[in-house]
Amino acid sequence: MEPYRVKVVESISLPSREERERALQRAGYNLFNLLSEEVYVDLLTDSGTSAMSDRQWAGMMLGDEAYAGSRNFVHFESTVRELTGFPHVLPTHQGRAAEHLLFTQFAHRGDIVPSNMHFDTTRAHVLRVGAKPLNLAVPEAYDPASPHPFKGNLEVPKLVELLEGPSGASVRLVMVTITNNTGGGQPVSLANLREVSRVCHEHGKPLYLDICRWAENAYFIRSREPGQSDRSVPEIGREIFGLADGATMSAKKDGLVNIGGFVATRDEKLAARLKEDLILYEGFPTYGGLARRDLEAISIGLREASDERYLEHRIGQVRFLADLLSVGGVPIMQPPGGHGVYLDVPRFLPNLPADQLPGQALVVELYREGAIRTAEIGAIMFGDGETPPARSLELVRLAIPRRVYSESHLRYVAKVVRAVWARREAVRGLRMVEAPEHLRHFTARFAPLGH
């Protein structure tokens, strides 16, 4: 049962079949181009789409909008320090701004940035400075049917081989994303993080974590990793952060806010350089591109997101939807991850070859069937030819916003997906008619094949 009750509501409605068809045409079959009123259940992302609590809204009213030295910054900084142990904390307007600051310092032309799997903006920031993003997740991460409990893990022998090989000197930092969004919201185990940390530090390389879904990751460690069930989520979090040199965070996920993020580090000299760039690109270090009231909401949200009753329900919702789909035979990434259910496109639409963009075709079909908005995480998002993936996944993500939808919304979503599954052989492919060079999934336009 939800560990909260509803105090404010927002109405939603189902557009007619004709309205959906017209919306698809106008949007160039890219659901990023839809108006939100054209969507019934919006599973495009779990980022910045959470419902804030009454306490967070109350915190917003306590905004001290001073340019410098706001009390909300003091609260924010002490919360992040207490949760993570990182002494230097710089607020940013969202996660990609933190990535911008970090990679500007750490990655240059010809460098290699290894990670378990880079997400879209992380990858794009590495590419922007002329460096190479390298995914080193364990082989199970690429097998949607594998029940491995920690498919976010990094393959440590591969990392050792890289660091000790001819390209070792080109690695200036190692990143690990918890949970692994690109690979299905899959967690990284504490044992793996300990190993990665040891290897990085033996080779003199700093380890940075992308911690936007750290609380969900810590919850999985608590429930799946031997010997961890008696520890609290914040306690596990402190051990995770203690293994790293710093972190970037989009607070739009496990900060339970609609905007905000930060970069944090133990390195005092680096912090001074980051601060200079922060002032240039984001704002003064006690606000970093945010209203001060937003910092208050983050500092309350970070604590609420590590509450176990909240997490039990949150992860339970994802599992609930995954179970409804599995029972109907729908192929999904197993085990279900922390922030959404990911459909396994090659098994869902085996008849559509890769050049007919099956992931996007499925996204379009789910909207056409029931006005649910989902996201392709596959060839369109990552296959722009810069770094052709050696091993790849073709997924459609049904991301679940935090504290927003109820069990009956999820039942509706399952009904829609199962209806498309039942008529999967009739799903038509698409072609891309317009696309920018980078991050093309946001603005590309498509057309149905045969038109």
User: Of 100, 252, 403, 409, which lies in the binding site for ligand F0G, with binding defined by CB under 6 A?
Assistant: 252
* CB nearer ligand F0G, residue 232 or residue 443: 443
Q: Tokens 């916003």 sit at which residue? A: 401
Instruction: Note whether 252 and 95 are within 8 A (CB).
Output: yes
Helix (H) or strand (E) holding 108: none
Binding mask 59-98 for ligand F0G (x = CB under 6 A): -----------------------------------xxx--
* Cβ count near 280 (within 10 Å): 9
Q: Tokens 């240059």 sit at which residue? A: 108
Verify binding: residue 228, ligand F0G, rule CB under 6 A: no
Residue nearest to ligand F0G (CB): 95
Verify binding: residue 119, ligand F0G, rule CB under 6 A: yes
Distance CA(212)–CA(207), nearest Å, equals 16
Phi, psi of 102 (to 5 degrees): -65, -45
User: Of 45, 56, 84, 306, which lies in the binding site for ligand F0G, with binding defined by CB under 6 A?
Assistant: 45
User: Of 39, 41, 47, 400, which lies in the binding site for ligand F0G, with binding defined by CB under 6 A?
Assistant: 47
Distance CA(128)–CA(376), nearest Å, equals 22
Write down the least CB distance from residue 307 to ligand F0G, Å.
Answer: 21
Residue list 180-209, contact with ligand F0G (CB under 6 A):
181
User: Of 210, 216, 245, 294, which lies in the binding site for ligand F0G, with binding defined by CB under 6 A?
Assistant: 210
The angle, 0 to 180 degrees and rounded to 10, between the axes of the packed helices 190-202 and 233-242 is 20
Pairing mode, if any, of strands 41-42 and 372-373? parallel
Distance CA(15)–CA(34), nearest Å, equals 12
Write down the least CB distance from residue 184 to ligand F0G, Å.
Answer: 12
User: Of 133, 261, 370, 401, which lies in the binding site for ligand F0G, with binding defined by CB under 6 A?
Assistant: 261
Verify binding: residue 250, ligand F0G, rule CB under 6 A: yes
* Cβ count near 148 (within 10 Å): 16
* CB nearer ligand F0G, residue 180 or residue 306: 180
Helix ranges, 135-213 (H): 156-164, 190-202
User: Of 30, 50, 122, 135, which lies in the binding site for ligand F0G, with binding defined by CB under 6 A?
Assistant: 122
Which residues are at the interface with ligand F0G (CB under 6 A)? 45, 47, 94-96, 119, 121-122, 177, 181, 210, 212, 250, 252, 261
